Structure 1
Amino acid sequence: MTTALTIEADPYILPLPGPDSLVVQDQWISASNTHPNSRYGDDIWSMGPLIDKPGDSIHKIHWRKCPAALRSEFQRIIWVLINGELRPTYVRERGFQNRGRDGVVSMRDNILQWLKFARWLDRQDVTQLRDCTVEHWRAYAAKCAGSGCTRDHALTVLRWLSDLWAFDQLSISPCGITRPPWEDEGVDDYLPAQTGEARGENTTEPLDPTVIGPLLTWSVRMVEDFADDILAAWAERRRMHAAVKATASTREGLAAVRAYLTPLIDSGGLLPSTVSRMHGITLAHHYVAAVTGASWNQVHHFVSRRGLLRLTAQRPGPSPMQVPVAGRVEGRPWREFMDYEETPILVRHLATAAAIVILYLTGMRPQETQSLRSGCCPDPEPNADGSTPRHLIRSHHYKNVRDFDGRHISAGEERDVPWVAITPVVNAIRVLERIVPEGELLFSSTHHDVVSQRKHHGALKRASLDRRVEDLVAWINQEAAAQGLPDQKVPADPHGNLGLSRLRRTLAWHIARRPGGLVALAIQYGHMRTALDARTSASYGNRGRRGFHGELDVETALAAAQTAARLRDAVAAGEKISGPAARRAIIGATSMPRFEGALTTPKAAAKFLSRDGLVLFDNPDSFLICAFKRDTALCEPDPGATSPNQFACQLGCGNAVRSDSHARAAREHADRLETKAAHLPQPLGDRLRLTADRFRGLADAHDAAALDAEEVIA
């Protein structure tokens, strides 16, 4: 029998909790955490005391989802999971888990799997965990393997199930569940066959260029052109709303309501309307009360007496406010007036647009953006020479943040190296700082609940932000049609919803593949490449790990691999190539097959890119391929760079390679320039003709020097 002496001798053993014991013990709760703690005897356990990350939801354990017969035993083990740590000896023996205590999200996933297992045991008529036999374990493992899940997911599930046995051993009174057989026999025989599914970090699809272009254009337009109008209207709406709440009913107020609405009713005019969840389209009570100086009740009684609900639905109209409109679209005002009822919707879209600008033009992860606070990007002090340094964003990061004992830190930690912010990002932060109080989270759930202002926890959650992006896209398309700009609509993305996690991958995609700038604000791609290649920013966007560097390396390597594959196919089809680096390009293209399918991790991508002189980069704006070799590059790459500054490509570079396809494309471009020149004033037209002649000269030089692959290698 286990005694108190055992607990004292073995610090990993936990005592039995009582009904009033705290679900989360004090040593695991940070000083800044204010979430209420549950009691062991409660029907619902909150894991809030373990959650310090602003963007995380408050996870809860609902014990009604656990079979009654097994509930007490699973409560005991889950309490040990929440408050205990696996022994280091056990962790080392298993090999697949390098820490004794996990973060709250991993705990939640573990618990959900345990409760699923409990319900399965209940269906097998197992009412005590000591009655769970090796055959039960094998049957459940076979069920998981046959469910159609991947091998990796099945392995994770078996690890979670092993934890059930391991944490049971840490209770002063273990339930006695049998050790899973894969702990002794090895796990391979309990897993489904490997299917070759994609692995690594590159499974997130970038947004299509036709999507990110108008989405970014409208997001920046919202932040830089419309924000002042929207926030002024929002301030006026709140003032009007507060005035209505403070207004008592008077005879003068009722007379004002009658004088305002009766002419509209009698003349057949439009009535100021809003959309109610209960009544659908109805009269805008608060707006009418505000403009007439009446109380809300007086407006309500007048509407009821005159039967205006049905009439308003038939004749819905706007609710104009006396707020100046300064924003412009294509040189004309974007609104005739700011509408009382539309304003909360516009504030919501404005905040979403700011999130898109920040995420896309920095490369932050969504969880890092969610943790930003007002004041995170102060205006820099001028340098001694009068120049102004770049704005820097101080933020927290969370991935793999652990204490000295390897325990996950839910609150994350501030980056040693801040993010660099260009002007659109700074403007987006300033807009958000006008929405939330000083020192508050920029995406505070409470302050971005613009209508109800409910006291929500932390920052807007990922699911909520993703929904807001879809809502913003719908609004953009509606607005583009209304403004007569159908070519600025955001089309449907081939890969589905526009989740925020896709913006980081999209930025890496465009830096690697569109250096010339075919998307709005493409100067940012040049800025990012410059910042990421500089020796002084070796830790840009990361701390002790590759961070955004890794994302960019993967995308750059994939782009280079595709360039090599296209060149290989082109020369196999009979195309000729020219240029001082033609031989290196052929060698690089033919060596590509041994790398294919292995470029989905930063480590593999960095190894691929380190082959100086053999990595091929397509530059469609210069109509060439760059077989990048640092020492001969004229684009002035930084020391240690593994890719060229494609936006600074120079004629006469020793890394240049052209194919017949590039020569044809150069001539076609020259023809387009000639056509355009014919419709421009002479000075501009002459300049375009000179450029066209230059491109034709490049094509002619290629034709004169081009060789097939065998001749190049020889």
Structure 2
Amino acid sequence: MGPAITNATSAHDGDLAAVIVLHKHVLRPGTPPGKLSRFGDPIWHIAPAHPDAHAKINSIYWDRWPNELVPVFKEIALAFLTRPVPRTITVSSDGELMSIGTVSFRLRTLRVFAAWMSLHQLCGLHEVTDEHLERYRQHVLQLQASNRHKKELLVAVRTVWSFQAVLPQQCRFDAVAPWAGSAPAKLAASPCRPAGAENTTPRIAPATMEPLLHWSLRMVEDIGPDIIAALTEVKQLDAGTHPSQQHLHNLTSRERVQAFVADATAHSRPVPGHPLRDEHEQPRINWRHLARLLMLPSRRVDPCLRPLVLESDLPVADGSPIGAITGHIDGRPWRTSPLSTQELPQLAAHLSVACFVVISYLSGMRPGEVLNLRRGCAQRDHDTGQLLVLGRYGKGAARTPRPTLGDDPFERTWVVVQPVHQAINLLEQLGDTPLLFPSSHYKPHAIRPADRNARRAQDITSDIAAFITWINSTFVRLDHEPVIPPDPAGRIYPSRFRRTLAYFIVRRPRGLIAAALQYGHVSTTMTMSYSGQADTAWLNDLAVERLESVLEHNQRDHELLTAGEHISGPAASNYHHRIQSAHRFAGHVVNRVRNAERLLQHIDHNIHHGNGMTCVYRADTAACRTARITEGLPTPTGPIDTE
């Protein structure tokens, strides 16, 4: 576990202004001293205490609050950060601190209350009565906002009330209880989602998911190595270690330029240029890349040396070529022209998001779990040979900011398939940051430095859209239809992959992923991965998907029989009986996974639909099973799809 910043001084003893507001929290390793905010600072940086490197946590800017109320709400904010959550808020708090994400959200909603107090000339919570709270509720109800947001505005006030025992007098309400204890959702007319309600995350349609995964795998296996090789060459040129630069070390700048012109003339090679935006644009020399090739000081070609190139009459290339094309698709190079330095950053971004799709989809990880993966996370079990990914829990209150790999008591492993390890290997070559998905691979980010901040989920959504656009514009089908068609449910965002994988494993177990990777293989490895974990959400998704699938098949089979479908074969009567029995199922309300599993035992009549026949499976007479027993092979509990 990472080191905690400790401060023995209580918030109400000694110099309050000097108290570090995050002194009760474990901070991300490498947090600069300038981010350790103190009580008296005008800005509180609380993101260093958030466990997820991809999360966007806004700092608290106290100059945006009513000036006369800043001392009051600073006390409240400090209580949120340093005091355990009262059981009046959650009975399962067990002395835990409020999560940093919740603190940030609660303060955003409390700022609305502070603005209302300032408007009504209330200088402290000790002046707020039950009558004032009712007026504030009426104010909230009149806002142009959703009912859910209105509820959260009232919840924020109720949260402050719950912390009253640890707050000074000026931060305590002069009220009996906010709104007589009525639930904020009821006061704001906000419907509450019932426990166990349906997962509303839309699946990605098969017509979109299959080609998206197919091209993501092609990026990893065929195109990615060329991009990595080009990036490596650029790094070598920048460092002056490329083999083509060895003869330049003892030459002056003028001699280097002269040597380049002589060599380019002798081999009919063009001068590196900038990409032409249209056919009417005049070619322009890329002086910066030429300086990189020749290791010129300050990475620039001195103006007095440029005539040596301009007067040589060498042609100027459309872009600055780098690397070589070695990857093939359908037996042909994936592109006819070499890569250029100008397009490398965008190609690297496409490769990164393709790796995200492969890792996320073929492991079943949550988006945050993928985005927080670190260098060295791909491992192999020495005893079983299983491919593993070492990460950390993406959900739960017991998480802390991740220290170095192997030191986190809350880390966990996933059992994965080979393409996941291939994607991780490419990402480790793509950059040198500790995180596999840094906030930026190229552009420095002052607010979210790449060495300790991961790319955000909303950025990945934009990256996926850009990747699909690039694939559709680069690789064209003969019928001119999109290579990756749009999804009917709209934009593809990260959390949809986990939901979609459960559907594919249950509904299309024999469908092949690109590169001959079977969904059945993914299902086996993921079940091994999740069966021993406290997080059973993935297994829950599978149970619900199986229930929905069986119900849909039963309904469809009954409709076909009713319409006069002809059936024949030794199991025809058995099939007819099972379908009629399934149709008599009256239905039950399913709001828990245990209910889904229990119902499956009653309505799943072991009818398996294949391309050539329908199997009415019975273990003691199944030919596929008895044949395997005779041969001494393992016998599964259901029919064997490949036989």
TM interval, short-chain normalised: 0.7 to 0.9
- 1:365 Cα shift? 0.9
Correspondence 1:332 to 2:332: yes
Correspondence 1:549 to 2:539: yes
| Amino acid across the alignment from 2:286 | A
> Secondary structure at 1:544's aligned position in 2?
coil
Equivalent in the alignment of 2:455: 460
> Secondary structure at 1:360's aligned position in 2?
helix
> Secondary structure at 2:545's aligned position in 1?
helix
Correspondence 1:366 to 2:362: no
Partner of residue 584 from structure 1, selected from 575, 578, 582: 578
- Aligned 1:235-634 pairs, distance under 5 A: 235-243=232-240, 250-253=253-256, 272-273=273-274, 283-291=285-293, 294=296, 299=301, 301=303, 317-321=318-322, 323-335=323-335, 336-381=337-382, 389-402=385-398, 409-411=400-402, 418-437=413-432, 440-445=434-439, 448-450=440-442, 452=444, 455-456=449-450, 457-481=452-476, 486=480, 489-517=483-511, 519-520=513-514, 523-531=517-525, 537=528, 540=530, 543-570=533-560, 578-591=572-585, 593-595=587-589, 598=590, 602-609=593-600, 611-614=601-604, 619=609, 621-624=611-614
Q: Deviations over 1:573-623 (max 9, x none)?
A: 56577452433333333425434xx46x534433433x2454677635355
**TM-score when normalising by structure 1:** 0.72
Q: Verify the 8 A CA contact 1:476 1:490 in the aligned structure 2.
A: yes
- Residue 345 and residue 646 in structure 1: after superposition, are their counterparts in 2 closer, same or farther (change >3 A)? farther
Q: Verify the 8 A CA contact 1:564 1:616 in the aligned structure 2.
A: no
Q: Deviations over 1:510-541 (max 9, x none)?
A: 111111206535744101333456xxx3x626
- Residue 486 and residue 480 in structure 1: after superposition, are their counterparts in 2 closer, same or farther (change >3 A)? farther
Q: Verify the 8 A CA contact 1:320 1:337 in the aligned structure 2.
A: yes
- Counterpart Cα distance in 2 of 1:154 and 1:96: 25
5+ unaligned residues in a row in structure 2: which ranges?
1-7, 311-315, 627-635
- 1:146 Cα shift? 6.2
- Counterpart Cα distance in 1 of 2:39 and 2:425: 45
Identity of aligned residues (%): 25
Q: Deviations over 1:376-408 (max 9, x none)?
A: 223454x6xxxx722122221131142xxxxx5
- 1:114 Cα shift? 0.9
- Counterpart Cα distance in 2 of 1:629 and 1:367: 43
RCO higher in structure (CA 8 A, sep ≥6) = 2
Count residues in correspondence.
598
> Secondary structure at 1:393's aligned position in 2?
strand
> Secondary structure at 1:418's aligned position in 2?
strand
Q: Deviations over 1:557-579 (max 9, x none)?
A: 22223333434555565657745
- 1:61 Cα shift? 0.7
Equivalent in the alignment of 1:122: 118
- 1:357 Cα shift? 0.7
- Residue 37 and residue 449 in structure 1: after superposition, are their counterparts in 2 closer, same or farther (change >3 A)? same
Segment of structure 1 superposing worse, 214-223 or 127-136:
127-136
Q: Deviations over 1:661-711 (max 9, x none)?
A: xxxxxxxxxxxxxxxxxxxxxxxxxxxxxxxxxxxxxxxxxxxxxxxxxxx
Partner of residue 218 from structure 1, selected from 215, 218, 222: 215
- 1:471 Cα shift? 1.8
| Amino acid across the alignment from 2:490 | G
- Aligned 1:26-105 pairs, distance under 5 A: 26-30=23-27, 32=29, 34-35=31-32, 36-88=35-87, 90-91=88-89, 101-105=97-101
- Counterpart Cα distance in 2 of 1:149 and 1:602: 34
- Counterpart Cα distance in 1 of 2:481 and 2:195: 36
- Counterpart Cα distance in 2 of 1:21 and 1:121: 28
Q: Verify the 8 A CA contact 1:392 1:418 in the aligned structure 2.
A: yes
Q: Deviations over 1:616-645 (max 9, x none)?
A: 77635355486x8888877779xxxxx975
> Secondary structure at 1:392's aligned position in 2?
strand
- 1:105 Cα shift? 0.9
- Counterpart Cα distance in 2 of 1:254 and 1:330: 42
> Secondary structure at 2:274's aligned position in 1?
strand
Equivalent in the alignment of 2:633: none
- Residue 347 and residue 45 in structure 1: after superposition, are their counterparts in 2 closer, same or farther (change >3 A)? same
- Residue 283 and residue 501 in structure 1: after superposition, are their counterparts in 2 closer, same or farther (change >3 A)? farther
- 1:156 Cα shift? 4.7
> Secondary structure at 2:321's aligned position in 1?
coil
Q: Verify the 8 A CA contact 1:584 1:613 in the aligned structure 2.
A: no
- Counterpart Cα distance in 2 of 1:484 and 1:521: 22
| Amino acid across the alignment from 1:548 | W
Across the aligned residues of Structure 1 and Structure 2, the Cα RMSD in angstroms comes to: 4.5
Partner of residue 131 from structure 1, selected from 127, 134, 145: 127
- 1:330 Cα shift? 1.5
Q: Verify the 8 A CA contact 2:274 2:318 in the aligned structure 1.
A: yes
Q: Deviations over 1:454-509 (max 9, x none)?
A: 7433322222222222221122112213x979566212222222111111111111
**TM-score when normalising by structure 2:** 0.79
- Counterpart Cα distance in 2 of 1:554 and 1:282: 60
Segment of structure 1 superposing worse, 201-210 or 614-623:
614-623
Q: Verify the 8 A CA contact 2:11 2:19 in the aligned structure 1.
A: no
> Secondary structure at 2:238's aligned position in 1?
helix
- Counterpart Cα distance in 2 of 1:192 and 1:635: 58
Q: Verify the 8 A CA contact 1:344 1:451 in the aligned structure 2.
A: no
5+ unaligned residues in a row in structure 1: which ranges?
1-10, 309-314, 403-407, 638-642, 651-714
Segment of structure 1 superposing worse, 352-361 or 372-381:
372-381
| Amino acid across the alignment from 2:580 | I
Q: Verify the 8 A CA contact 1:392 1:421 in the aligned structure 2.
A: yes
> Secondary structure at 1:442's aligned position in 2?
coil
> Secondary structure at 2:548's aligned position in 1?
helix
> Secondary structure at 1:540's aligned position in 2?
helix
- 1:249 Cα shift? 7.9
- Residue 332 and residue 510 in structure 1: after superposition, are their counterparts in 2 closer, same or farther (change >3 A)? same
- 1:25 Cα shift? 4.4
> Secondary structure at 1:420's aligned position in 2?
strand
- 1:43 Cα shift? 1.5
Segment of structure 1 superposing worse, 561-570 or 247-256:
247-256
Q: Verify the 8 A CA contact 1:635 1:645 in the aligned structure 2.
A: no
Equivalent in the alignment of 1:661: none
- Residue 165 and residue 257 in structure 1: after superposition, are their counterparts in 2 closer, same or farther (change >3 A)? farther
Q: Verify the 8 A CA contact 2:43 2:62 in the aligned structure 1.
A: yes
- 1:60 Cα shift? 0.8
> Secondary structure at 2:379's aligned position in 1?
coil
Equivalent in the alignment of 2:163: 167
- 1:190 Cα shift? 0.9
- 1:223 Cα shift? 1.0
Equivalent in the alignment of 1:648: 641
| Amino acid across the alignment from 2:227 | I
Q: Deviations over 1:632-661 (max 9, x none)?
A: 877779xxxxx97576277xxxxxxxxxxx
- Counterpart Cα distance in 2 of 1:636 and 1:113: 62
